[in-house]
Structure formats: structure tokens, C-alpha cells
Structure 1
Amino acid sequence: MSLDQAARKPQDRLSALLADDMERVNALIRMRMTSRHAPRIPEVTAHLVEAGGKRLRPMLTLAAARMFGYEGEDHLLLAATVEFIHTATLLHDDVVDESRQRRGRPTANLLWDNKSSVLVGDYLFARSFQLMVETGSLRVLDILSNAAATIAEGEVLQLTAAQNLATTEDIYLQVVRGKTAALFSAATESGSLIAGADGKAQRAMFDYGDALGIAFQMADDLLDWHGEAGATGKNVGDDFRERKLTMPVIKAVAAADDDERAFWVRTIERGDQREGDLEHALALMERHGTLEATRAEARGWSDRARRALDGMPEHELRDVLDALALYVVSRVS
């Protein structure tokens, strides 16, 4: 078995263990994304929801609830909520980033238009709040509404940090917590809450999701430099061409001499990119070891996620969540 095949096993196991629940979540998603008065809403939503995404976030919600012995129905509402929030942010992100492809398919804003993507995203946010209210828990509403606000805050911060070489590693982590980790941690914390876990366990599950999300995003940023388009859904160097300041570049800028800094100013701040610049950027990061340093940090966040599971109930799903934390960084090992 190849490393890639082995790395996918935790996610496959998670999907298999939660298959019945996920079938019900998918049915709930399809039912709630309908609209009596605006047929474009289910058209646009279905294009993204049915595109074969991993459904990792709702599975984390279900896993956290089941790990603590939950036997009710509210975890299905939470899982659908998390997926709607995620889908809404993707629709908005593709407009902001002027993207043309997601998961190997044309984006909704390309097939329809920006107005449809923004408004359908708004509709899904509204639907997500309806779903979370149905649990009858103010604490659930607090967790998930805070996550929605953090996501939006992270996206705005990313706008102000983009193409700014003064962006620090701390700012990068704030952005990552917004764009990725906030929904991971809300998924795992709310799942444990609905199952009646105590405060310490809920905090541990928040910490697990937070660290997992950061490791996940750092690994994605590394894959932009070394990944395969078929596996990642985008071309190597897309972040460089879009002038995104991810961790490997931030570290390279911090270590740069005058000539190297001038290169980063021209390519990132000014957007003057020429043939061979991508290869030169990669060479600079190799020279300063920033790819390996980022890889080490991703592994550190993965270890932190695994440590958060210490003391959690003995359960097959706990073992899979532990393996999942290893999986997200195995992609760049």
C-alpha cells in the first residue's frame, strides 16, 4: 500500500463508522437547501454540495457526539449546520478570490454569476442559524455563531494582510484560525456539548479541532508548492501566482537579504511576475529551509491535536480522530 493510500484510511474509516448518520445528514441537507420561491438557490447549492467534497467537518461533529455516547438526533442538525456554514464560505470565497475552479469543477460564480453566489451563500448562512436554533441549546448557538463571526473576521484580515510583506506568522495564524480552524473546533466542541460531555472534555475537543484545522491548512499551503493538481484540485504555485502570503513565504521573507527581499517585493507586493519566478521562489524557500520549518510546525499542531484526545473516552472513533491528526500532515511528509 502506498503512503497516500495509507494516509486516506482514517478518513475512510470515519466515513464507514458514520455512514448511517451521514446518510441522514445528507438527506437533511438536501431538504433544507430547497427554496419554494427561488429555484436558483438549490441549483447553485447542489453544484457545490454534490461536488464530492470530503464532508470532513460534519463528520467531525458526528464523531465527537458519538464518542461521548450520544443517542439523540440533534447531532444531525449540528452536522448539517456546519456543512451549510462551510458551503456558504466557499461560495463567498470564490467571489472574493475570483476563482474559476473548485474541486476540479467550474465554480458557481463562473457558471452563474457573483451575485448568485453571494446571495445563495447568505441564504445558507441563514439556514444554518435556523438549524442550530432547532437544537434548543443557547450554548450551541453561542459556539456556532462565534465560529461564523470568526470566519468572517479571518477573511477580512486575510484581505488586509494579502500582498503585504509585513504580515507576520502571528497574523498568518489568526487568518488560519478564521478561515479553517474555527469551523473545525466548533464542529468538535458542539458535538461533545450536545452529547453532555463535561466542560473539560468540551474544551479538549475544541483544542483538538483548533489544532487539527491549523495543521490541515499548513499542510494545504505546503501542497501548493509540491502537490499534484489531481490530488489538490489546483495547480502547483497557485498561491504564488495569486500573491498569497502563506507560512513558507512569510518565513522566507523574514530570512531574506536585500536582493531576495527585492524579489518578494516585485512578485508579491507589486505583482510583477515573470517566467522562472516560481522556480526562483521555491529555490529561496529551499535555501532558507522554510518549507521544512513549516512542515515541522504542521507536525507540531498535529501532535497538539492528538494530545488533546488524552483522557477522552475509550472509543473506536477516538482512535480514528487520533489517526486523522496524523493523516493531515502525512500528505506533506
Structure 2
Amino acid sequence: MTLALPEVSAGLQERLTDGLARVEALIEERIDHEDPFIAEANVHLLRAGGKRFRPMLTILAAELGDGINDDVITAAAAVELTHLASLYHDDVMDEAELRRGTPTANTAYDNSTAILVGDLLFGHASALVSELGPEAVRIQAETFIRLCTGQIRDDRQAPEGEDAGAYYLRVLQDKTGVLIATAARYGAMFSGCSTEVVETMRVYGERLGMAFQLADDLIDIESSAEELGKTPGIDLREGKRTLAVLHALASTSPDDARLHELLNSDLSGDAELGEALELLRAHPALDRARQETRAVGEEAQAALVELPDSEAKTALLALATSVTHRAS
């Protein structure tokens, strides 16, 4: 796992590692295709690596119940395929050239291919979920609706008169929180947990997902291209108003006039984008956004308070800390 969980025992670490290997093998098996071009395009981002954060959470949540079984692995694979599919579409919308240090599908092929492969992977995810029963299908459908809703709203500014920060957090609940909530929910569901524990994991996962995206927002500002594996400042270039940007724009200090000018302008040029990043990195708004990110991570931890003590609970608490401290 990319995210460190220092409290995990060797036994739990081995179960998580083995479970993720089973998920990876299932995905590779399902998305293989008789057409070599389609087969290669399907695995383009899968083999670029990644944290496998969502399937890992499904497997970890299963530790709250009877542990890993075939249904847990199927659910974890479906969640990861849904995530991978969304990345193909995201890279087209972002006009991104790199993902995990690898050329994006839209760069390696073209936009049409990237969109269609994303659709194909969504289809594979749905096929897997169909094996888990009607309740899982309903959850997957509702998750997909909210994913798309969040993405649409993310491309729009907050309506006039509405608090921009609160609007953005609601966007993140849909755009990122809901799929991570589903990952955690499935793990509890298919390992035999009670409905109360399943709901606890849904709430935990949604808050964790929001913290995950908020940390990514900060990393996009703070990190270099070498550290990110992609171009930093993509959100700025697209004009997205993440928390740090919203706080900077709310400043009334005359010293921030140049930063405001840049944030309200077209940042398609590398020089302007670099200057905006440099000014934002030195601004108190970044630290305020960092504190708010950690607060959301603490809300995820608070959702677990009623769970009995266990190694899995300890690991889930540590996971929230790891997520938020990526941006530090």
C-alpha cells in the first residue's frame, strides 16, 4: 500500500496484500479482450500503478466482519474499475498529458478512444456488481449518479449568494466521497457486518474521501511535476476554486492584488501558472486549507467511535491520518 498504516500487524498486512493481488488478478482477467488494441488500452492506466486506495479500503472494512471472501474481492474490483474508468474521462476533460508518470490515454491514443475505454471499464464494473445482487446494483447506480453530478458541479462556480466553501465541500461529497464511501460500505456489507456497521462505514468513507480529495488539492499546489507524476497546478489552470484558492481570493490585503489578478485570469501560460503557484504556496490560505483538510479527516475518525476496539478499527483510524498528512 502506498499509504502508510504503521499500526497494521504483519498478519493483517499479509491479508491486505493478498487481497489486493486477488483484486488485481480479477480486474486483469475481466478486462482482457480478444482485440489486442482494446486489451492494451483497457490496462493502460491499470498498469501505470496507483495507490489502489479504494479496493484496499474495501478489504480493510471486511476485517470488521468475517473477513475477505469472493464477494468482497468482486466488490473491490468493481470499485477500482469504476475509479479507473473515471480517470480516463477526467484526463480528457482536464486535457492532461501525464497520469502517474505515464502518458494519459488521451495522449497515447486520442480523446475518443479514451472516452470509449472509460465507458468500457464502467461496463465491466457494472457486470461485476451484477454478480453481487440487486442491492449492490442499486448502490452502484446511485454512486455513479453522484459521481457524475459532482463532476458537473465541479466545473461550475457556486451559485450567487451561496457560500463558495460549503458548495465546494458538497461537490467533493459527490465527486470523490461517494465512491470511497461505497468502497467501505461494500467491504462491510459482503463480510457480514450489521446494517449499523455498514452505515458507519458509509459515513466514514464519505468523510475520508472528502479528506482524500482536499489533500490532493493541496498536493496539486505544493508538489513538483516529478513528485506528482503529472503537471502541477492543473486545478488552477482550469480555474477550479479549491479551498486554498477560495481563501486567497477572500483576502482583502493589498499585498494579494497580483495573486488575485492571476487567479482571475487565464493561466494557460507556464510563466503565469508558475507565478500563481509560487504566490499561493507562500500564502496563509494554504495553511488554512491544510487545517480544514485535517478537520475533515478527524470527522472520518469520529464516525468510528461506536465501533468496538479491534485491529481493523485502529487501521481505519490510522488510514484517515495517513490520508490527511499526505499534504503537510
TM range (shorter): 0.7 to 0.9
Partner of 1:177: 173
Choose the corresponding residue for 2:136, options 130, 134, 140. 140
User: Contact 1:15–1:59 at 8 Å: present in 2 too?
Assistant: no
Pairing 1:230-309 to 2, within 5 Å after superposition? 230-256=226-252, 260=256, 264=260, 266-271=261-266, 275=271, 278-279=274-275, 282-283=278-279, 286-287=282-283, 289-309=284-304
Q: Give the percent of matched residue pairs that are identical in Structure 1 and Structure 2.
A: 36
User: Contact 1:62–1:76 at 8 Å: present in 2 too?
Assistant: yes
Choose the corresponding residue for 1:24, options 22, 37, 40. 22
Q: Distance in 1 between matches of 2:47 and 2:8?
A: 18
| Paired letter, 1:21 | G
CA deviation digits over 1:194-239, x for unaligned, max 9? 2222222112101111111111111111122222433322344343
| Paired letter, 2:214 | M
Partner of 1:77: 74
Q: Distance in 1 between matches of 2:69 and 2:286?
A: 45
Q: Distance in 1 between matches of 2:177 and 2:127?
A: 23
| Paired letter, 1:195 | S
Partner of 1:211: 207
Tell me, yes or no, if structure 1 residue 110 matches structure 2 residue 110: no
How does the TM-score come out when normalised to structure 2?
A: 0.88
Q: 1:236 to 1:98 in 2, by over 3 A?
A: closer
| Paired letter, 2:43 | A
User: Contact 2:203–2:300 at 8 Å: present in 1 too?
Assistant: yes
Choose the corresponding residue for 2:321, options 323, 326, 331. 326
Tell me, yes or no, if structure 1 residue 56 matches structure 2 residue 53: yes
- Structure 1 residue 248: Cα displacement: 0.4
| Paired letter, 1:187 | A
User: Contact 2:300–2:320 at 8 Å: present in 1 too?
Assistant: yes
Partner of 1:101: 98
| Alignment RMSD (CA, Å) | 2.8
Q: Distance in 2 between matches of 1:66 and 1:307?
A: 19
Structure 1, 269-278 or 168-177: larger mean CA deviation = 269-278
Structure 1, 9-18 or 91-100: larger mean CA deviation = 9-18
Structure 1, 49-58 or 9-18: larger mean CA deviation = 9-18
Q: Report the number of matched residues.
A: 323
Q: Distance in 1 between matches of 2:219 and 2:7?
A: 18
- Structure 1 residue 183: Cα displacement: 0.9
Q: 1:272 to 1:110 in 2, by over 3 A?
A: closer
How does the TM-score come out when normalised to structure 1?
A: 0.87
User: Contact 1:165–1:269 at 8 Å: present in 2 too?
Assistant: no
Tell me, yes or no, if structure 1 residue 227 matches structure 2 residue 234: no
Tell me, yes or no, if structure 1 residue 316 matches structure 2 residue 314: no
* Structure 1: 5+ residue stretches without partners: none
| Paired letter, 2:137 | L
SS of 1:41's equivalent in the other structure is: helix
Partner of 1:45: 42
User: Contact 1:243–1:267 at 8 Å: present in 2 too?
Assistant: no
Q: Distance in 2 between matches of 1:42 and 1:92?
A: 18
| Paired letter, 1:299 | R
User: Contact 1:253–1:261 at 8 Å: present in 2 too?
Assistant: no
Q: Distance in 2 between matches of 1:243 and 1:226?
A: 17
User: Contact 2:55–2:79 at 8 Å: present in 1 too?
Assistant: yes
User: Contact 1:143–1:190 at 8 Å: present in 2 too?
Assistant: no
Structure 1, 77-86 or 231-240: larger mean CA deviation = 231-240
- Structure 1 residue 257: Cα displacement: 5.5
Q: Distance in 1 between matches of 2:226 and 2:308?
A: 38
Q: Distance in 1 between matches of 2:22 and 2:227?
A: 28
| Paired letter, 1:155 | Q
- Structure 1 residue 278: Cα displacement: 4.3
